[in-house]
Structure 1
Amino acid sequence: MARRKRSTKASANAVVSRAYLSPTLVLLAFDWPGGEGHDDFLGFAIKRDPGFQGEKTSWLPNRLTFSGPAKTDSPSNESPIQKFMWWDARIDDADRGRSFVYTVIPVIGAPGSLTLLEDDAAKVKVTLPEAVVGSIGTYFNRAVVSSQAFVREFGRKPTGDKLKRALAWLANGLEKVIPEFLDTTRPIDGAIYHLTDEEWVIPALARRTVHTSIVYDNTTKDAGTNDPAVKKLTNVTFSPRKRTGIMHDKFLVRGGAPRTLATLAGSANFTTEGLTTQANVLHTFRSPELAALYRERQQVLATDPPVSKIVGLAGWSAPISIDGGQVRVFFPPEPPSVRESLDAIVRVVEKASDSVLFCLFAPTDAALRRALFSVGDAGKMMFGLVNSITEPKPGAPDNAGTVAATEIYHRSRDNKDVYSHDLFPQGGKPAGFWWEVAKLPGKAGKFPVYIHHKFVVIDAETDHPTIYTGSANMSGNSLWHNDENLIEIKGNTKLARTYLAEFLRLYEHYRARAQFQNRPHRPGDTFALAKNAGWATKAFTKGSPEWKSRHAMVGEDG
């Protein structure tokens, strides 16, 4: 049973805490300056007010105890959080707009004899954002089939109604935003790489009775992929795009001349797996100026011009003010050897004052990769998440892809700040955990894609963040061969912190799995809480990724 230590004297070593909010989760970052001097520092207890399911207060849960995994979640006042950040993922749609107070309390002592130092506690009050804040809607899916929460709720091979509920849980709002965007009597124009989702998107398009025009990819590489939708949706005007590398855009525009109204764009393909099992984000922008740019681009692509005829159109748009930030868009491909879009990202990354996060399918551009890694090498917070990391094979061809794969592999092993999709496999899981699968029956798509995001966020935790997002993989193909859209958003602090919260949700999830798989372990090995302050050693080791994030996430200089 934990004891609470309280006095009337304020502590000079109080916890410092900060919240990062998404419509579907709260990320709490915290530091305890006094922790380094305590050999018996065992973590943090976190209390939420109001609590879960109508309770006045609840302790955020921990899956781990001092003896190993809990059969059911254990409250953090009994099983302290041994990290310097934690999530409240028990957020329902009805919680959006509600306020909560979180109290973060350092815990010292020994297992079975814990002391909660309430004099050193920090309180953080938050109000959960709606999916649409101001003129921008933000929708990150969950996309984690390989999770304990998914296995507990849906099993490994859900079918029927359970499968439908599992897909909606994974989509986390993506299944709603596209049909809602299409549910209008105004014209819709779009450019869609893959259009195969029969769960939500194709039925929503089939319901439309007014002008709907879609450019779709019909290059040799993807010939036939979209044919069933084209044949079925006789109410839609389709324009095949053939004379390009691939038509890789994924956007819709609502409203036509003389007044466009809104845009939907992001990384998600309009496929069931793109909305559910592949990690993706979509935005809606209520901006006539931005929508006009996207509609103009759609009309260019609808004529199927060769790449040589449109590279001269490439360039950053003039900045558009949206919600206090500045938004620009770039439509590749660019002329050969020109790198205006990617070099803009490289320059901002090189000037990062505090941090860089990247979540990319495969960062194959060498200049961008060097810039990203140099931020971490300079002692700043740098974390990366990619689709896959594999050990280099002798004799592999010397091209951009294999060079990138080799560098990322060594970075993940040496610096431990870049990770990829991973899971607890059957026969290789920690004791007390369920084994996990990577995909759903019949919903895997052509290729094993789990991290499909295409974003880089610079200085997310500061007052001057920059976000790059959209359809472009930030590669040679996206620069010079493909139809793409790349969005730059500067100065929108709320949106940047949402990106940070959602990124770290995925990053920490996969990092735990990768670390277990990469370390030597025997049958029966598992995770358990440390019984002394050893769990915090890396976080107090100057220069380590844990040390950087401990300071950066709460706004400390270090």
Structure 2
Amino acid sequence: MRARASKDGLTVRIIAGTHAVLLAFDLADARRTGCLGFSIERTDVETGDRRWLPNSLRFLSDPRAEQVTTARAPLQKFRWGDYTTEPGRLYRYRVIARYGTPADIIAQGVLAERPGGFDVIAGGVALELRTEDCRNEATSVFFNRGAAASQAYVNRFGDNDPDDIPDALTWLSRGLEEAIVAFIAKADGPDYALHGCIYEFEKPTPIKALIQAQGRGAEVHIVYHARAGGNTKAENQHAIASLGVTFATTARTKGSAIMHNKYLVLLKKDATGALKPIAVWTGGTNWTEGGIYGQLNVGHAIYDTAVAERYEAGFQVLTQDLSIDETQAKNDVITPVPASRDTLAHGATPLFSPQNGLSMIDLYADICRTAKVLMVSAPFALHERIRNVLGTPTDGAMRFLLADKEGSYGEKGNIDKLNADPGNMAAVAKPFEGLKLADFQKRKLDRDRLMVDESFHHAGIHIHSKIILADPFGPDPVLVTGSANFSTNSTVANDSNVLVFRGDTAVADVYVADFMRMFEHYWFRSRKDEKLQANQVFALKDDDSWSVKYFTPGTREQRDRLSFLGMNT
């Protein structure tokens, strides 16, 4: 959901996802002089909870070293993220441009932070909006917390191992595992069926939910990866045997390099008694503890019969365990690949691999090339054709790359080369070390490195979501999301899938808000490390010089400001 308001030269734009909200600001030229930043007050309209959003920086003259709020440490940026929202809730935000000396702002802020002191800081722009609701079938998108939640985890649960704290596992899942179980629960009788293709068919909770669906009379049939090599085949078959699975299972033993899908099709009998596909659960989340609690992952339920019919057709192909040539030929018919972004249909378009050729890669590259604002999440090495697009001059565009490792963008040093262009912001996932949460996640992720050979080995992956999001702040966004990585192997060798959304602004809002939640964490950490290594001061400026770069043509900050305001579309 989106909202915009202006008053007295201050403009505020808000983009609301489910668990995250992005706020963008702008100031008229006449209001820039003397501005030391922005304070943000948030009210949960339904509960009455009222608070100042926090800031991680403060004025050097602020004597209080504890965590400060934007009331006395205003944001010296033209956008911010609130990553503590709940889905489907009505919030009121008030953004105030702050003027005066740091001493004035600190003193006023201390008073405003006291109980009932909010109105000490008056004025600003206020607007209300409701966050997107993942319980709504139109925006049924679930991101877990991912490794970047380390500090928030410690604040809540202490430096303790999540294995010993059930509530901590629930917190890390953030509804992702629960959503898989809830989708399965929709098969609540003999009129339903669940047909799925699950790469790592291991985690007991969703498997037990399938057993319960079978117990309610629903038909259940799962295709799982069972190629020789690695341990995935053995682990999948161990789970099937140890959990007492009696519903139909098909081992995918040949054809693809790996059966890399993670989807379920929900079917329901029509008036004639024939089973008809009605919905799909998909995304990049493996059914493992590392997939649910460790890596950044997303699951997405689609309640669209046309899309569900395509997935059911793909499922029926995989149950035959065909050769790779036969599978490619059938996928080319079931999900033909659009030639370019311009030829994409509005709505959701599924694409299956393996494909006979790199047309999927060419589509991704075209989406990246034509984007004025671009977000890319890359767990593994991006295909050269996509890297070539990202390596070209941005020419006014703004691109954000979240790479799991530096190798996700080719050779060492390539990330630095990207960041030399003011239109690029590239961050690498470097989780906190030394915390028990980090040890837990490493243990789970190393446990999940079960690939068929070393060319697919991926121990310790923290950014596992596969996302390309083009022009999310405009009226015609394009989103690529699913289980397929943006690589040759994923396109021509693996069983995998993506959904390409065009024009769905609500879905784009959910994805961009959570993408920026993770991106900002890793970008801030890298910049902070650089400043510390250079012995630079990491604090707020005492004058309005901080804002100059945001209004200087051609700078990264100017492009960033215009992008989030929706003016670079």
TM-score, normalization by structure 2: 0.83
SS in 2 for 1:64: coil
* SS of corresponding position for 1:248: coil
1:356 aligns with 2:374: yes
Counterpart of 1:396? Answer: none
Structure 1 residues 369 and 145: CA distance shift in structure 2, 3 A: closer
User: Is 1:101–2:92 an aligned residue pair?
Assistant: yes
Give the equivalent residue in structure 1 for 2:195. 189
1:245 lines up with 2:260 in the alignment: no
CA distance in 1, matches of 2:288, 2:136: 26
1:388 CA displacement: 1.0
Which amino acid is the alignment partner of residue 280 of structure 1? N
Counterpart in 1 of 2:302?
285
Q: CA 1:170–1:69 in structure 2 vs 1: closer, same or farther (change >3 Å)?
A: farther
CA shift digits 1:167-194 (9 cap, x unpaired): 2112111021111111123211100111
Asked whether 1:18 is paired with 2:18, we answer no
Q: In structure 2, what is the Cα distance between the partners aligned to 1:408 and 1:543?
A: 20
The alpha-carbon deviation at position 227 of structure 1 amounts to: 2.2
User: Which string of whole-angstrom CA distances, capped at 9 and with x for unpartnered residues, describes residues 486-525 of structure 1?
Assistant: 21110101111221111111100111111223345389x8
Candidates 209, 215, 224, aligned match of 1:216: 224
Alignment of 1:112 onto 2:112: no
Aligned residue in 1 for 2:489: 477
CA contact (8 A) 1:145 1:439 kept: no
Of residues 16, 25, 28 in structure 2, which corresponds to 1:30? 25
| Structure-2 residue corresponding to 1:273 | 290
1:487 corresponds, among 476, 499, 511, to 499
- Cα 1:450–1:403 shift into 2, 3 Å: closer
**2:44 touches 2:89 (CA, 8 Å); kept in 1?**
no
1:137 aligns with 2:123: no
- Structure 1 unmatched ranges of 5 or more: 1-9, 391-400, 427-433
Indicate the SS of the match to 1:314: helix
Please report how far the alpha carbon of residue 317 of structure 1 lies from its aligned counterpart in structure 2 after TM superposition. 5.0
The code of the aligned residue for 1:540 comes to F
1:48 aligns with 2:65: no
* Alpha-carbon distance, 1:284 to partner: 0.6
Shift of 1:133: 3.5
State how many pairs are aligned: 516
- The answer on 1:204 being equivalent to 2:198 is no
Q: In the aligned structure 2, how far is the partner of 1:419 from the partner of 1:35?
A: 35
Q: For residues 499-538 of structure 1, what are the structure 2 equivalents within 5 Å? A: 499-521=511-533, 527-538=538-549
User: Are 1:410 and 2:410 an aligned pair?
Assistant: no
Describe the shift of the 1:511–1:11 C-alpha distance in structure 2 as closer, same or farther (beyond 3 A).
closer
Does the alignment pair 1:62 with 2:65? no
- Could you tell me how far apart the structure 2 residues matched to 1:487 and 1:286 are? 13
SS where residue 286 of structure 2 aligns? coil
User: How far apart are 1:28 and its partner, in Å?
Assistant: 1.1
Residue 314 of structure 1 corresponds to: 331
Q: 1:182 to 1:413 in 2, by over 3 A?
A: same
Q: Report if the CA contact (8 A) 1:191-1:215 is conserved.
A: yes
Equivalent residue letter for 1:111: P
Secondary structure of the residue that 1:345 maps to in structure 2? helix
Instruction: Give the drift of 1:49.
Output: 3.0
Structure 2 residue 340 is matched with structure 1 residue 340: no
What secondary structure does 2:21 align onto?
strand
Distance in 2 between residues matched to 1:161 and 1:473, nearest whole Å = 33
Secondary structure in 1 matching 2:401: strand
Report the residue type matching 2:181 in the other structure: P
Q: Mean Cα displacement is larger for which, 326-335 or 453-462?
A: 326-335
Aligned positions of 1:120-131 closer than 5 A: 121-131=124-134
Q: Which deviates the most, 81-90 or 176-185?
A: 81-90
Shift of 1:537: 4.4
Are the aligned partners of 2:350 and 2:499 in contact in 1 as well (CA < 8 Å)? Answer: yes
1:47–1:59 Cα contact (<8 Å) kept: yes
SS at match of 1:255: strand
Q: Offset at 1:454?
A: 0.7
Q: State whether structure 2 residue 386 is matched by structure 1 residue 365.
A: no
Determine which structure has the larger helix proportion and give its number: 2
Which residue number corresponds to residue 304 of structure 1?
321
Q: Which residue of 2 aligns with 1:380?
A: 397
Contact 1:212 1:235 survives alignment (8 Å)? no
Q: 1:412 to 1:11 in 2, by over 3 A?
A: closer
- Cα 1:402–1:179 change in 2 (3 A) is closer
The alpha-carbon deviation at position 458 of structure 1 amounts to 0.8
Query: Which residue number in structure 2 is paired with residue 397 of structure 1?
Result: none
Please state how far the C-alpha of 1:129 moved relative to its aligned partner: 1.9
Whether the 8 Å CA contact 2:387–2:409 is kept in 1: the answer is no
Amino acid at match of 1:506: M
* Cα contact 1:179–1:204 (8 A) shared by 2: yes
Contact residue 531 and residue 537 of structure 2 kept, 8 A: no
Tell me, what secondary structure is at the counterpart of 1:265?
strand
Secondary structure (helix, strand or coil) at the match of 2:142 reads strand
Query: Could you tell me the percent identity over the aligned residues?
Result: 27
Give the 3 Å change call, closer, same or farther, for CA 519–153 of structure 1 in structure 2: same
Shift in CA distance, 435/37, structure 1 to aligned 2, threshold 3 Å: farther
The residue aligned with 1:261 is 278
Equivalent in 305, 316, 326 of residue 347 of structure 2 = 326
- Single out whichever of 457-466 and 153-162 deviates more from structure 2: 153-162
Distance 2:6 2:304 in 1: 49
Structure 2 unmatched runs, 5+: 110-119, 269-273, 339-344, 450-458
The code of the aligned residue for 1:125 comes to E
CA distance in 2, matches of 1:45, 1:35: 19
Q: Distance in 1 between matches of 2:391 and 2:147?
A: 26
1:228 equivalent in alignment to 2:238: yes
Task: For residue 226 of structure 1, give the secondary structure of its aligned residue in structure 2.
Answer: helix
TM score, norm. by length of structure 1: 0.84
Shift of 1:536: 3.4
Is the 2:354–2:496 Cα contact (8 Å) retained in structure 1?
Answer: yes
SS at match of 1:135: helix
Query: In structure 1, how many angstroms separate the alpha carbons of the residues matched to 2:46 and 2:245?
Result: 48
Structure 1 counterpart of 2:196, which letter?
Answer: G
Task: Judge conservation of contact 2:297–2:464 (CA < 8 Å) in 1.
Answer: yes
Q: Distance in 2 between matches of 1:294 and 1:480?
A: 18
What is the one-letter code of the residue matched to 1:351?
A: T
Cα displacement (A) at 1:424 = 4.6
CA change 1:50–1:165 in 2 (3 A) is: closer
**Which amino acid is 1:169 matched to?**
W
Shift of 1:274: 0.8
Match of residue 116 from structure 2: none
Closer, same or farther: CA 548–342 of 1 in aligned 2, 3 Å: same
